[in-house]
Structure 1
């Protein structure tokens, strides 16, 4: 990476140029403001999901935007962070067919659903009416029954929807049966109709979440739901959450064809290797569709339990909704010593046999989200050697753990408390570091800058790069020592590359830094 040429980097000059404004800029919470704006500007899902409307509203400065990755700037926050049901759905899809306990009735319903879905129909209504019964045999009542809804002064009728009883409310309260755990939309084929079925369902979900009867729910839940999109003989499942006034949607499965594959194109194993003994590709295909629908039904049941058992938060100072990563094991091999000097990690010392596993568990209490970093949070850690430790919890796609520990041992990085890939949050790395409280007028001392420069030289001599040496990735502690906090791009020299979407417009990078560059 470009940072490797230290002679081209003047840390003293860069520090003065970066200034304090780059670090201390903050984005105030706009949850209530965004919801109020949405209530004033929202349209019906069928109107709001048209291409002409999305062309105007799908922008980062529009409250109506659904963060679904279209355009690419409307992505980034992973819904797996906020609720386990989406990870559970993936696990269920990957399980062996033998362990799914599919019944003969499941196979029959899947067969009818596939047969009817592959037909041509004169209208969408005809398709809707014909495929509804076998689909509801899997997913339950109203999964594909059109019922009128009224949300945020707008009436709409999804092609199918299932409500969830919410334990926050009493049976006679308006919000008791308002939340939708499933929204379904049907088209007669891909590209037919005025809009994409997924995008129309996303708009219906957004309308539901901003309904005034759900104000209490919105303040303590990410409001998880599933979206089922059907376009002719294709079906897709997405997940949706609502966080900080923003609807977030991610496609969990692609549009899966319901047309059985030809034998020549099938990957179905032969009779001897087939775990269920299926002798045709078509039969295997029926089983896979049955598994998809049964997995969705099981997760919808799980959402029903989640909403029914919901209670009001007891700690007003806790972040809500918060990530679904509540704890970790302290004995995971990361550097736990605090003095900034080289030495064996505290976690590498064996724990006494008498200490039970729960004594190694570090519990996290989330306090706030860091506005300028969408998947970073401030939390308090207790247990496993931590007592009220303020920390930063980051969810990232990769982390340079070795470089982080190298720099911490030289006193120029935040203490690394945990660094591990976690399947339950979408296979992201969870990186937890001790919180560094930088004051508004913090300034790095000359000795601190020199210490950082020497540490960087040592890092490069060890054939590592930091990769993102900017002011926003440093904090100044109370002694004037700058400490590095972001090692996402760190790794072995010559093996790391800058991302394809490197921001070369608003950021002054070192000479040689460019998209795809090494």
Structure 2
């Protein structure tokens, strides 16, 4: 005999009056049926309902329905309150539904959880919107094909990368900051791979590495045969068994092998019999990773992890090791590429492979601890923190780690190329994704009031030139709090943040309010004199790099390209449309600054 049950379905896109649903269920019906009915009633929530959790709510009156109270209750009794969506309703409620004034079950989607987190997020620059955009990105189709079909033709590869929900790994201007900036485990893997001389493999590991290289260099009649030969060697070198040819829960992917912990992938490997046959195994492993993120377990942990993973691609005798994360999109970086051939340098190659697998093995161990803690400690990562960098100081730089800890940085927003906070993370264009500039709070050891700072990551930075101008009275550059080399081949530069209300770049000031040449000439002239006295060449003097403050002072910014007179060279990728009057890779000269200074003054002078 069917009976009515009351369901609370809190969701941002549903009117409050419709968040209580009265559904008739038969004893044999499961909660999967409830999901299907809600999907039909609310098609705009279809994807959200693919990954929901059902909770029993005893004695919670509909008359005082409060989302916040429901979540507080669930937080205290999460384990025993959740219901299996495949069990029949008669098993879940053997005595039938509660009285009609009570809610029987609440349907929790990850979108609902973001509402719960709104207070803790603080939302200084739209973090709630950022998290919701991240959830939407995780469910974006990207490639609707299987991973193997996604790499078998040019059209499939192009759509896999460029369509909505595509991948960022350096194709067609689709790239972002290095994955090492966002996860310590992946950062240390990169460092170990970049410094193999710090690892000394023992005789056993070297013996397995010899066999692995010799086997990879062979020809095999089929891919399955190659996999079967490499299978035991990889498990031996990595010190644990992987799951071979095991489909994902949704059957959307069947990776060659996955090393995982608590259902989260630590390493995904794809093997091809030869290069060019069957597609690119690296891209295929990246598509597999994208498919994993759509799985229920990943969706339920969106607010607490950026899901770091190692990608191992083998195509014949070619070995590629990469890493990937998921923040606002999927990003990947290649760490190591090697051809495994029998040559006169065989001994060196074997040693390199042995050190490589030692580093990967150690990283898998660390990722397993991370994912185990993710499951055991539900409150281990603050909401929305997974969107922002978590840089690791380069161990080869003295005192780098200590200096990093002293800063007590907490990132909370990304900036666009003009230095303005990006309000809608879901609206990031490819250029903003590439640009590693953020806002963070910096707190002193005495736990005093936090200071908002600008943090940029640059491949090179002239700390000396910046500090020279920042130390003047009044300053001619923003205060420089730190310049620390971090893993990812970058410098983390922490400086004073000048908000748009306190100052703007000359390029952004509208014409009626634009200062004339006389207002800025003495300040810029003094800055150049100071730099040139120390043999520095600023190299990029234009409106974009001159901040005009509300009190009439100016600050020079962007010291990435500062060089040494008659020694340094301009970038080989110099923007020739910037009108600096210099050539790519040209030797830098103080006279270039003076010429650009006069060009700037002419542009600012009244016509």
1:298 and 1:503 mapped to 2: Cα distance? 42
Question: Does 2:428 align with 1:380?
Answer: no
Aligned pair in 2 of structure 1 residues 499, 91: CA closer, same or farther (>3 Å)?
A: closer
Aligned pair in 2 of structure 1 residues 307, 472: CA closer, same or farther (>3 Å)?
A: farther
Q: Whose relative contact order is higher, 1 or 2, with alpha carbons under 8 Å and at least 6 apart?
A: 1
**Residues 45 and 201, structure 1, Cα contact 8 Å, conserved in 2:** yes
SS of aligned partner of 2:244: coil
Structure 1 residue aligned with 2:53: none
Deviation at 1:57, TM superposition (A): 4.7
Aligned pair in 2 of structure 1 residues 448, 219: CA closer, same or farther (>3 Å)?
A: farther
Structure 1 residue aligned with 2:222: 123
Deviation at 1:125, TM superposition (A): 0.9
Aligned pair in 2 of structure 1 residues 516, 144: CA closer, same or farther (>3 Å)?
A: farther
2:361 and 2:567 mapped to 1: Cα distance? 44
Structure 2 residue aligned with 1:160: 257
SS of aligned partner of 1:377: strand
Deviation at 1:326, TM superposition (A): 7.4
Structure 1 residue aligned with 2:332: 249
Deviation at 1:286, TM superposition (A): 3.8
Question: Does 2:388 align with 1:289?
Answer: no
Question: Does 2:154 align with 1:54?
Answer: no
Structure 2 residue aligned with 1:135: 234
> Structure 1: which 5+ runs fail to align?
1-25, 166-176, 267-280, 334-356
Question: Does 2:183 align with 1:114?
Answer: no
1:271-350 aligned at under 5 Å gives the runs: 282=347, 285-310=349-374, 311-312=377-378, 319-325=385-391
Partner deviation per Cα, 1:6-52 (whole Å, 9 max, x = no partner): xxxxxxxxxxxxxxxxxxxx99954344334336x532111222332
Aligned pair in 2 of structure 1 residues 121, 155: CA closer, same or farther (>3 Å)?
A: same
1:312 and 1:43 mapped to 2: Cα distance? 33
> Which of 538, 541, 548 is the matching residue for 1:466?
538
> Structure 2: which 5+ runs fail to align?
1-125, 418-431, 505-512, 588-607
Structure 1 residue aligned with 2:186: 86
SS of aligned partner of 1:190: coil
**Residues 180 and 190, structure 2, Cα contact 8 Å, conserved in 1:** no
Question: Does 2:116 align with 1:44?
Answer: no
CA RMSD of aligned residues (A): 3.5
Partner deviation per Cα, 1:128-184 (whole Å, 9 max, x = no partner): 112211211222555371111145xx611111112222xxxxxxxxxxx1x211111
Aligned pair in 2 of structure 1 residues 293, 434: CA closer, same or farther (>3 Å)?
A: same
Aligned pair in 2 of structure 1 residues 441, 300: CA closer, same or farther (>3 Å)?
A: closer
Partner deviation per Cα, 1:473-501 (whole Å, 9 max, x = no partner): 34443424332331111122344444333
Partner deviation per Cα, 1:40-70 (whole Å, 9 max, x = no partner): x5321112223322234544xx434322122
Partner deviation per Cα, 1:175-222 (whole Å, 9 max, x = no partner): xx1x211111111112222x1111111111122124354234333322
Question: Does 2:412 align with 1:367?
Answer: yes
Aligned pair in 2 of structure 1 residues 182, 318: CA closer, same or farther (>3 Å)?
A: closer
Aligned pair in 2 of structure 1 residues 130, 230: CA closer, same or farther (>3 Å)?
A: same
Aligned pair in 2 of structure 1 residues 428, 146: CA closer, same or farther (>3 Å)?
A: same
Question: Across the two proteins, how many residue pairs are aligned to each other?
Answer: 422
Aligned pair in 2 of structure 1 residues 136, 360: CA closer, same or farther (>3 Å)?
A: closer
**Residues 563 and 569, structure 2, Cα contact 8 Å, conserved in 1:** no
Structure 1 residue aligned with 2:280: 196
Question: Does 2:436 align with 1:400?
Answer: no
2:378 and 2:280 mapped to 1: Cα distance? 36
Deviation at 1:375, TM superposition (A): 1.4
Structure 2 residue aligned with 1:102: 202
**Residues 489 and 496, structure 1, Cα contact 8 Å, conserved in 2:** no
Structure 1 residue aligned with 2:600: none
Structure 2 residue aligned with 1:439: 501
Structure 2 residue aligned with 1:430: 492
1:18-37 aligned at under 5 Å gives the runs: 29=130, 30-37=133-140
2:170 and 2:388 mapped to 1: Cα distance? 22
Partner deviation per Cα, 1:59-88 (whole Å, 9 max, x = no partner): 4xx4343221223x2234111111122332
Counting helix residues as a fraction of each chain, which structure ranks higher?
Answer: 2
2:255 and 2:405 mapped to 1: Cα distance? 48
TM-score, normalised on structure 2? 0.62
Structure 1 residue aligned with 2:584: 515
> Highest CA radius of gyration, 1 or 2?
2
Question: Does 2:333 align with 1:230?
Answer: no
**Residues 359 and 384, structure 1, Cα contact 8 Å, conserved in 2:** no
Structure 2 residue aligned with 1:413: 477
Deviation at 1:436, TM superposition (A): 1.1
